[in-house]
Amino acid sequence: MPQAVISATGLFTPEQSISNAELVAAYNAWAEGWNAENAEAIAAGELELKTPSSEAFIEKASGIQSRFVMDKSGIIDPERMLPHLPARGDDELSILAEMAVKAAQDAIQAWGKPVSEIGAVICAASNMQRPYPAMAIEVQQALGIEGFAFDMNVACSSATFGIKTAADFVASGSVKAVLMVNPEICSAHLNFKDRDSHFIFGDVATAVIIEAEDQAGPGGWDILGTKLKTSFSNNIRNNFGFLNRAALPTGAHEPVSSDGLSDKMFVQQGRKVFKEVVPMVSEMILDHAAELNLDPHGLKRMWLHQANINMNTLIGKKVLGREPEPEENVIILDDYANTSSAGSIIAFHLKHDGFAPCDVGLICSFGAGYSAGTVFVQKRP
C-alpha cells in the first residue's frame, strides 16, 4: 500500500489580536460592575465576590501573552464580553469556511499542484457552526474540488485524527491526496466572564495536504505511524452551539441560570485535566515510539497541542527524559494562545526548519473526550 506523506501546510491568522493587558482590563471592569450590582447578595453570603484577573496570573497559569481573534471589539467591551459574529445568509460563504479556504489556499500554493489532484476534504475542528451541510463540503465547493468531503470533531485532537483518516484514505488507494482543514473560532465558545478560563483561547485556521508517496515531490514528511486514543471524561466540556450565543445583539440579556447560556460554554476542571492527561499522553507517545522502533530521546522536535505551557513542558520532559530545549518542544502559546485542533499544526507549520533528511519529529494532540493522537513524521529528501 502507498505510504502517506504530508506535503504542505497552510495557516490563516486573523488580523485582530488581544493582549493580556486588554483582556484583563475588560474582565476586571465587568467584575467590578457585577460586584457593585450584587453587593447586597455578596454581603449576605448568597453570592461570591468576583476576584480580579491579572497579567501575571494568566502568564503563570498558561504561558499566554496574547491571542488572535475574529472580533476584538465585542470581547473587550465590558457590557458584552463576547465577539460580534453576525449571521450570514445561506447563500454566503460561512465564516468558518472562509477561514478554512484561506488556510487551504496557503497550503495549496506551497504544494504547487492543481486542486484536481485532491480527492477528499476533511474539516476537522472543535467548534462547527452548524450540524449540516458539512463545513467540509462548503470548503470543497469554494475551492472547486471534486470527490467527497465531511466534518469530524474530536475536540483539540481533531487535526491528528484528521491526518490519520487522510493517511488511511491514501494508503487504501481511495484518493491520491486529501485536504484537511482546521478552522477554529474558539473565542466564540469561551466564557469571558470566567476568571479561570477567560484567557485560554484564540482564533485561527490551519490546513494540511496529505498525498501518496509515489506522487509526492521532494521534501515533505513521511508519516511513519499514527495512533489514536479516547477515554471518556467530563473534565473538559462544551454543551452549546457557540454561534447561537455569539450572534446575540449588543445589550441582549444573557441568562445565567442552570438552563441559560453561561453554563453551556467551555468549562474544564483544570487540575484534574493536568493530572490525568499528562501521564496518558506521555505514555501513549512512548508506547507508540516503541511500536515503531523509534528512540523518543532522539526526536528532533515535538509539535504538541498548545494547551498550556506547564502541560507541554512536562510532557516534553517525560518523552525526552530531560528538560527539552526550546527548539525541541515548540511553543506558540505566547502569540496564539490555545487554538484547539489547530495548535499543533500552527507549531508544525511555523517551526519545521533545520531538519535534515531522515530526522524524526512528532505531531501530537490531546484534549476533551479525553482524546489524543500521535503522528510521527520523518523529513524526506
- 3-class DSSP state for residue 118? coil
Q: What share of the chain is helix, strand, coil (3-state, %, to 5)?
A: 35, 25, 40
156 a catalytic residue: yes
List 123, 156, 186, 364, catalytic entry:
156
Using N-to-C axis directions, what is the helix angle for 309-320 and 270-291, rounded to 10°?
Answer: 30
Instruction: Look up residue 250 and give its three cell numbers.
Output: 449588543
Contact 206, 9 (CB under 8 A): yes
Residue 16 phi, psi (nearest 5): -95, 145
Using N-to-C axis directions, what is the helix angle for 158-172 and 343-350, rounded to 10°?
Answer: 70
Longest dimension (CA), the chain: 72
Contact 43, 49 (CB under 8 A): no
Using N-to-C axis directions, what is the helix angle for 95-111 and 135-143, rounded to 10°?
Answer: 50
CA 344 to chain centre: 7
Q: 308: closest CA among 196, 233, 192?
A: 196
Residues taking part in catalysis: 156
